[in-house]
Every structure is written in C-alpha cells, then in structure tokens.
Chains A and B, each alone.
Chain A
Amino acid sequence: MARRLLRRFLHTAVICAVVATSVFVLMQFAPGDPFATALDGPDVPPSVRAEWRARYGLDLPPTERFVRWGIALARGQLGYAASRRQPVVDVVADALPRTLLLVGTALLLGFAAGVWIALLQTRHHRRWQDRVLGACTLVGVAVPEFLLALVAMTWLGARWHIFPVAGIGSLGDAAGWPLWERMIDLAWHLALPAGVLALAVASRVARHQRAALLGVMREDFIRTARAKGLGEWDVLRRHALPNAIGPVIALLGLALPSLVGGAVLVERIFGWPGMGQTLFDALLARDYPLVVAAVLVATLLAVVARTVTDAIANAVAPRRATGAM
C-alpha cells in the first residue's frame, strides 16, 4: 500500500514537472509581458520598463530564468503574480476555494440528478419518460454552457430577479449576519453558476449512467434477481446501479478538467472569481508564475480527483476476477 502511494506520488510529481516545464516554455514564446497594460502610457519611458523587467527577473536569459524558477518551485515557492500584485499563493488561496465550491456543488448536484434521471429512464426504458428525459439530456449536453449561463443570467437574474445576476455574496451588512444566513446567501449566489454547470454535468452523467445501466440490465445476475421475485425498482437500485455506477464515477473523474474548462466561462459570466478565471486572466496577462501555479493546481486537482474517483469506482465495483488466466 505504501509502495503504491509512493508510486502514485512520484507519478504525480513527474506529471507536475512535465506540465510546469511545458507551460514555462510555452509562455516564453507568448508575446508581451505582465506589465503591458501597466506600462502602456505615453509618460512611461523605456527605462522604467527595463526596471520593471529587471525587478521580476524578466531580463535574464530564459535558461537562467528557468533554472531559478525551477529551484524556487521545487522549494515550494510559487513566486509573485505581477499582474495581480500579490504573491501567487495568495491569489490561489483566494480563488481555489471558490472554484472548489462551485465545481464541487455542480458535481454533486449534477451527479445526483444525473443518476436519478438515468434510473428513471432505465425503469421506463423505451417509453415516453425515457424519450423525454433523453431529449432533455441530449440538449443539455449539446447546448454550449456559456449560452446557458448567459440566458440564465439575463432572464433568471436580470429580468425576473429570482437569483442575483452575479457576485459571491450580498452587499451591506451581510458580513455581520449569523452563519446560517450567510450560508443561505452564499447558496443563493451559487445557485445560477452551479446550476448551469450542474445541468451540464447531470446531462452527461445521465447519458452515461443510462447506457451503463442498460448494459448491466442485460447481465445474468439481473435475471437471477428477478427470478428471486424482486420488484423492478429493487432490481435497479440494489443490483443494477451498484454495478453500473463505478464506470460513471471514473468517467466523472476524467471529465473534471473539461468541467473546469467550462467553468471558466461560467465564472466569467457570473462574476465568480475562481481558478478558471484566474488562469484565463493570467494567460492573457502573460503572468507565467501565476499561469504555472494555476495549471499545476488544476493538474493536481485533476490527478487527485482521478485518484479519488478511481478509488471510489473500485470500491463500488471491485474488478471482477477474470475467468481463466
């Protein structure tokens, strides 16, 4: 067990090193620097620009910068986010919990809803319930997320005032509210962005889960369960679902990066400053310490998510012993 963890850790470390290096190299080719906007003024002489570049070591040759940066990174120093005028750690510490909350909520809600939809569809396979839900999930997968977000923001937020248009919490004396009121306020602000993402997740999960359930429903042990005299819901819940949910969980782990990618636009539209938006802004600002850090965090998250989902998937559905050798 310890050896496996060690292997996993080493594997992750190698992945991170590769990712960090490639991002660093890539950023060297990108035109511009983090101060472009700051130094874009008629009264900024070239000498100031040179000073700024020197301050952040941008005037060093790339190889030396790479070595310095690599050493610092290995020590766990993520550096300074020049475009944000904050240490990278602070930026990440600020944005990461928000993304985790958003993506986590979307994931849980979407997963639960998706599984539930799939169960309903399987129960009523090839009847109208199945078809209607199938059409809904199809649309949910096919419509671009950013459009859903815009529509939700425009109508549910701006037009009908059901949810806040954007933001991470209410203004005014919200800071002085009791904890539960602040939680409700947070949930209320989270509703639209998390809802849009959850819709996308639910659609994908439902489609995969339905296919997986139908696959399992053809297995012999389902016939055994029916021969025992179990009702259809029991057969589905007790026998089919536990055997069909593993791959869907594993798939969800794989799909996490794309969810984060979709979250970029959703975060942007709902003014939810999380990692996606941070990374996007950092990319545009050529703030490579921040880009590298954000990508590393995303990579680590993805790896962790995959490890966790794989573990869950394994625990939920232990690999069946393969017949002969």
Chain B
Amino acid sequence: MTALLEVRDLSVEYTARDANAPRAVRAVDGVSLDVQRGETLALVGESGSGKTSLGRAILRLVPAAAGSVQFDGTDVLALSHDALKAFRRRAQVVFQDPKASLDPRMCVGDIVREGIDIHALAPREAGDLRVAHLLEEVGLSARDAHRFPHEFSGGERQRIAIARALAVEPVFLVLDEAVSALDVLVRAQVLDLLATLQATRGLTYLFIAHDFAVVERIATRVAVMQRGRIVECAPTASLFSAPASPAAQALLAAIPRIPW
C-alpha cells in the first residue's frame, strides 16, 4: 500500500518586509516525507523551524515555492478549483490557538456545520443532527451548539475545532500544535480524545509540536525539523531511546523530569 501523503522536495518562501528591501526567506527548504495511512507522524522542532509552514503548504493554505505533494495519488499543488474543494473534504486542520481559530461571532453549531454547508453534505435538519453527533463525539453536549466560543474553556474550544474539522469526514488531519496552548491537565484529555478518534475513524495525523513530551504518547514516527529541513525521522521508540541528531538530543534533554 502506498503512503497517503508523499511530500517531495517541498520548499516554502516568504517575502520578509524588512526595513530596507523585501527579501525572500526560505521557511521550508526541500523537505521530503511520507505519511502512511492510519499512522501519526509527529513533526517536532523549535519555533521558527518551519513546521507550521510545511503543514500549511501540504494543505495548500500557503503557496509552495517548489516540490510536490501527492495526496492519495493526486498532486495537491496542481489541483483545479473544484478538485481543491474536494481535497479539502479529505484533509483538515486543527490549529494551535483555539481562541483565534474559532470565529467569535458564530455560535458553535454554525462553526461546526460550516463545512457541512460548504460541501452540501446534509440538508438543514440532518445537518443539525450531525452537528449534535459531532459535538457529543468530541466530548461536548448537543446543547452547546447554541453557545458561543468565548463561553468555553481552552480545552473545550479545541474540541470544537476538532469537531469542525471532522464535520467534513476527512481521512487526514494536520494537528498544528493542537495541544501546545493547553494546560497540562487538558492537554492529556485532548490527546486521549485524538487517540480515540483515530481509533474509531481510522484517521491519519500529521502532528506538529515543539515539545517531545506530548509526542511521546501519540506519535508512531517522529520527524525532527530544524531551520526548514528535516534532520531526523525515526519511529518514536527508537528516537526516544537513541536520538541521532543534536536537535533531537536537545529536545529530548529538555523534557522536564520530575524527581520522583
């Protein structure tokens, strides 16, 4: 079976508006990676290492400067308008800051059903039912559909964001620092939820994080990024026991250990 996602030599550039002249900054520099169906590939690196850009380029949320992205056999970077819309049903994203990623002016029900409406997946009442279902699936209550994001805690908001992503029934989720902004307590709960969803829905995750501590629990494999490149990619267990790159070693050393 081929990989669900094949990224080859992907580069992303930004125009930095410096004081003097605009100059191109290469955020992602020739990255290649595969994500197998049903696995969780963790992408770890310090801030500014280009992991977020990589994730967004894969979803075509930012333009790629070079390279290719094959998703389930089709070239994502060459998709037509309609095909792109179809692709967006299959690949979804959850962002780091649950406060910023939810439209504060929409009630939770509307947020979650936006994808259903865009892709015309269900008529009015059936849509409501689906929204209720989704909310319950992520650990909220159907009644929460009428409330607004600001009435929820951080963890709950992230659940809403997950429900929104799941509404279009994707097979692939980019979790862009999806738990980084959460308290340790909530973080564990959301990670549990993600694990459960992966199990029940057969999802594939690209899990972006800056912290080995969270990755350890959820990832099948870990890719370590540094300055736009992937410096190491290995199964979780082997990476944790024998990190090869200095970047991975530093990250590993930084996990706070409680002196039991």
- Chain A directly contacts chain B within the complex, with at least one CB pair under 8 Å: yes
Query: Contact residues of A with B, CB < 8 Å?
Result: 1, 3-4, 324-325
Given A1-B20, A325-B25; 6 other pairs, CB 8 A cutoff: A4-B20, A4-B21, A324-B47, A325-B27, A325-B52, A325-B53
- With an 8 Å Cβ cutoff, the count of chain B residues facing the other chain is 9
The digit string for B47-84, where 1 denotes a CB below 8 A from any CB of A, is: 11000110000000000000000000000000000000
Which A-chain residue is minimally distant from B21 (CB atoms)? A3
Which B-chain residue is minimally distant from A322 (CB atoms)? B17
B14 contacts the other chain (CB 8 A): yes
Which B-chain residue is minimally distant from A314 (CB atoms)? B19
Are the C-beta atoms of A324 and B52 separated by less than 8 Å? yes
Query: Can you list 11 A-B contacts (CB < 8 A)?
Result: A1-B20, A3-B21, A4-B20, A324-B47, A324-B48, A324-B52, A325-B14, A325-B25, A325-B48, A325-B52, A325-B53
Top 7 A-B residue pairs of the complex, sorted by shortest distance between their CB atoms? A325-B14, A325-B27, A1-B20, A325-B53, A324-B52, A3-B21, A324-B47
Which residues of chain A have C-beta atoms less than 8 A from B48's C-beta? 324-325
Please count the residue pairs between chain A and chain B whose beta carbons lie under 8 angstroms apart in the complex.
Answer: 13
Which residues of chain A have C-beta atoms less than 8 A from B52's C-beta? 324-325
Which residues of chain B have C-beta atoms less than 8 A from A4's C-beta? 20-21
The digit string for B206-217, where 1 denotes a CB below 8 A from any CB of A, is: 000000000000
Which B-chain residue is minimally distant from A3 (CB atoms)? B21
Which residues of chain A have C-beta atoms less than 8 A from B53's C-beta? 325
Distance from A312 Cβ to chain B, minimum over Cβ atoms (Å): 15
Distance from B116 Cβ to chain A, minimum over Cβ atoms (Å): 30
Which A-chain residue is minimally distant from B52 (CB atoms)? A324
The digit string for B7-35, where 1 denotes a CB below 8 A from any CB of A, is: 00000001000001100010100000000
Which residues of chain B have C-beta atoms less than 8 A from A1's C-beta? 20
Which A-chain residue is minimally distant from B53 (CB atoms)? A325
Which residues of chain B have C-beta atoms less than 8 A from A3's C-beta? 21
Q: Give bound CA distance, A171 to B131, whole Å.
A: 84
Q: Give bound CA distance, A4 to B18, whole Å.
A: 12
Distance from A7 Cβ to chain B, minimum over Cβ atoms (Å): 11
Q: Give bound CA distance, A325 to B20, whole Å.
A: 18
Which residues of chain B have C-beta atoms less than 8 A from A325's C-beta? 14, 25, 27, 48, 52-53
Q: Give bound CA distance, A324 to B47, whole Å.
A: 8
Distance from B247 Cβ to chain A, minimum over Cβ atoms (Å): 19
Distance from B161 Cβ to chain A, minimum over Cβ atoms (Å): 18
Which A-chain residue is minimally distant from B17 (CB atoms)? A319
Which residues of chain A have C-beta atoms less than 8 A from B21's C-beta? 3-4
Distance from A109 Cβ to chain B, minimum over Cβ atoms (Å): 33
Which residues of chain A have C-beta atoms less than 8 A from B20's C-beta? 1, 4
Distance from A307 Cβ to chain B, minimum over Cβ atoms (Å): 16
Which residues of chain B have C-beta atoms less than 8 A from A324's C-beta? 47-48, 52
Distance from B103 Cβ to chain A, minimum over Cβ atoms (Å): 20
Q: Give bound CA distance, A3 to B14, whole Å.
A: 21
Q: Give bound CA distance, A3 to B20, whole Å.
A: 9
Distance from A39 Cβ to chain B, minimum over Cβ atoms (Å): 57
Q: Give bound CA distance, A3 to B52, whole Å.
A: 33
The digit string for B98-141, where 1 denotes a CB below 8 A from any CB of A, is: 00000000000000000000000000000000000000000000
Q: Give bound CA distance, A4 to B22, whole Å.
A: 11
Q: Give bound CA distance, A4 to B47, whole Å.
A: 32
Q: Give bound CA distance, A2 to B48, whole Å.
A: 31
Distance from B71 Cβ to chain A, minimum over Cβ atoms (Å): 24
Distance from B108 Cβ to chain A, minimum over Cβ atoms (Å): 27
Which B-chain residue is minimally distant from A318 (CB atoms)? B19
Q: Give bound CA distance, A1 to B20, whole Å.
A: 6
